Amino acid sequence: MIDEIIDLSDVGDVLRRSLDGGRLSVEDGVRLFESNDIHAIGAAANEVRRRINGNRTYYVVNRHINYTDICKNRCAFCAYSRNEADPDAYAMSVDDILARASSYYDEIKFTELHIVGGLHPTLPLEYYTEMLSSIRDKFPGVHIQAFTAVEIAHIAEVGGLSVRNTLQILIDAGLGSMPGGGAEVFSERVRDAICPEKMSGQAWLDVMRQAHELGIKSNATMLYGHVETGLERVEHIIALRDMQDVTGGFMTFIPLKFHPENTKLSHLAAQQSSIDDLKLYAISRLMLDNIAHIKVFWIMLGLKIAQVALSYGADDFDGTVVEEKITHRAGATTPEGLTVADIVRLIQETGTAPIERDTLYNEVTRNEAGLPAIS
């Protein structure tokens, strides 16, 4: 069946090469983005997903915390950030963060805290180390996934330290792994248009390389659906693949769907297409032959397309999340969090098997009291 679909496709030669274990080139990737045959591209991606991850769809019981919206970068695509003087700007104290985490921990024993924020001009290194060590002391079994590569470089700059030293200090304080944000699209042309103040794509990769060398795993993202071309997407994906060949430190790739509301790029709203979402998920699965997982961040994608994406290459549904500001300030209409029962049902509806994982993709089982054990 899949052979017939591929034989009839205008990109059948590329799909066949990928299924035979070949590595796709820049030209192959661009051809896939130019093709309208999402059925064949999706079928091939689903087959690759099946070979790598079987029928499993992973999810994590986590809570997101966005500790400050004050940010010196003010990227054009970001509705979340504020200037320090804005009346609704906030920066959480470490006690606030602990209280927020505790209230959810009373309800459900999460295995991960996912912490990201803006580039606050003055918060010192000690704020971040105290945040990590206090969380570690209060929730000893919980994995802390925190600070994008952009935040790490900023924390280093404010503290007058190298990125490597900063990473080591944060690891010693309890940092477990890093989220994949801040990558956007590596192309200089795109960065000039959407986030001129942000570190370069090369600098982002360089922070990740150093984190991986220090034994820290991370995720990787691409923010899509604004001004980028198919070629720029492909070059971004291949830069991640090249880095992964060297370090092996990326756990998952997450395409982040751009939400334009309340941003300086709100005129780009007409470019949003679910066909494009699914094609991008499938092409990512086919091109990233050395990254094990592709995640649907359902908050940004929407629950329905997130479910469909699980048949277009994705194998990870992310998590319970609980509280999310970055996408909701940019007009997302998804809930801010989901219960485990919701996630399990949404995954089961796709015909795949829900598997609770920890941050590092170890399987989690729970006892009758709901306490997690990692196998």
Question: Which chain residues interact with ligand SF4 by CB under 6 A?
Answer: 71, 73-75, 78, 80-81, 118-119, 150, 195, 198
Structure tokens at 111: 């295995």
Name 66's bridge partners: 116
For 269-293, the DSSP string reads GGG--HHHHHHHHHHHHHH-TT--E
The DSSP secondary-structure symbol of 368 reads: T
Binding partner of residue 70 among ligand SF4, ligand V47, none, CB under 5 to 8 Å per kind? Answer: none
Among 11, 278, 294, 300, binds ligand V47 (CB under 6 A): 300
Residue 249, number of CB atoms within 10 A of its CB: 21
Among 14, 19, 71, 79, binds ligand V47 (CB under 6 A): 79
Binding partner of residue 334 among ligand SF4, ligand V47, none, CB under 5 to 8 Å per kind? Answer: none
Of 314, 317, 289, 280, the residue nearest 185 (C-alpha): 280
Query: Least distance in Å: CB of 116 to ligand SF4?
Result: 8
Query: Least distance in Å: CB of 373 to ligand V47?
Result: 23
Binding partner of residue 119 among ligand SF4, ligand V47, none, CB under 5 to 8 Å per kind? Answer: ligand SF4
Query: Least distance in Å: CB of 75 to ligand SF4?
Result: 3
Q: What whole-number distance in Å separates Cα of residue 365 and Cα of residue 183?
A: 33
Q: Please say which residue, 73 or 290, places its beta carbon nearer to ligand V47.
A: 73
Among 120, 212, 259, 328, binds ligand V47 (CB under 6 A): 259
Q: What whole-number distance in Å separates Cα of residue 309 and Cα of residue 152?
A: 31
**Binding to ligand V47 in span 217-256, by CB under 6 A:** 219, 221, 223, 254, 256
Q: Please say which residue, 176 or 179, places its beta carbon nearer to ligand SF4.
A: 179
Say whether residue 330 binds ligand V47 (CB under 6 A). Answer: yes
Q: Please say which residue, 100 or 198, places its beta carbon nearer to ligand SF4.
A: 198
Say whether residue 291 binds ligand V47 (CB under 6 A). Answer: no
Of 170, 177, 117, the residue nearest 142 (C-alpha): 177
Say whether residue 306 binds ligand V47 (CB under 6 A). Answer: no
CA 91, 125, 328: angle at the middle one, nearest 5?
Answer: 35
> Is 146 in contact with 178 (CB distance < 8 Å)?
yes
**Radius of gyration (Cα) for the chain, nearest Å?**
20
Contacts for 28 with CB less than 8 Å, ≥ 6 apart:
14, 17, 18, 287
Structure tokens at 134: 């206090």
Q: Please say which residue, 264 or 366, places its beta carbon nearer to ligand SF4.
A: 264
| Residue type at position 270 | A
Q: Please say which residue, 60 or 223, places its beta carbon nearer to ligand SF4.
A: 223
CA 130 from centroid of its chain's CA atoms: 25
| 263 phi and psi angles, rounded to 5 deg | -115, 170
Say whether residue 327 binds ligand V47 (CB under 6 A). Answer: yes
Residues 98-117: x where in contact with ligand V47 by CB under 6 A, - otherwise, as a string? ------------------x-
Positions in the binding site for ligand V47 (CB under 6 A): 77-80, 116, 148, 179-182, 184, 219, 221, 223, 254, 256, 258-259, 263, 297, 300, 326-327, 330
